Amino acid sequence: MKSDSLEDNLPFVVENDEEEEFHVEPHAETEDTSVPHPPSPKTIKLVELLVKSMTAELSKLLTVHAFSSLIRTELKELLSKINDINEAMRGLNKYVEGLEIKIPGDLK
């Protein structure tokens, strides 16, 4: 008996005389997501409590760090450093003026 007979290679054909029914369903309405829903009262209360608890913390941080006085201090230190540099430059100028520079003959 041959396993590759002609009948084994024929495709299966299924005939169906009934017409397929197509049901057209109306489009389901989608929810409008462009406008967010208002927050629930519980969410509003949680946000209020969070803001209250953080207000005291933020106020304490601002007081401790005193940013405005910190900037003034930094500017004073910067001015002091600039003055130190100017003094050093004046000292160098006096030193250079006192030097005799010998120019080699080939540069004259």
Amino acid sitting at position 29: E
- Distance, in Å, from the CA atom of 7 to the CA atom of 22, rounded to the nearest integer, reads 36
CA distances (Å), origin 76, targets 29, 66, 96, 97? 68, 16, 30, 32
Instruction: Check residue 39 and give its pLDDT.
Output: 82
pTM metric for this prediction = 0.31
* Three-class secondary structure of residue 60 per DSSP: helix
- Measured CA to CA, the distance from residue 26 to residue 20 in angstroms comes to 19
Domain count, the chain: 1
Domain carrying residue 90? 41-101
Domain assignment present for 14:
no
pLDDT score at 59:
83
pLDDT score for 62: 76
Q: Has residue 91 been placed in a domain?
A: yes
- Residues 92, 98: Cα–Cα separation, whole Å: 10
In a domain, 34, yes or no: no
Does 13 reside within a domain? Answer: no
- The reply to whether 25 falls in a domain is no
Taking CA 20 as the corner, what is the angle to CA 17 and CA 25, rounded to the nearest 5 degrees? 165
Residue 18 lies in a domain: no
Local structure of residue 8 (DSSP, 8 states):
G
Q: State the 10-residue block means of pLDDT for the chain, 108 residues long.
A: 59 62 62 76 89 85 72 84 92 79 69
Residue 65 lies inside a defined structural domain of this protein: yes
Residue 70 domain-assigned? yes
Q: Cα separation of 33 and 11, whole Å?
A: 51
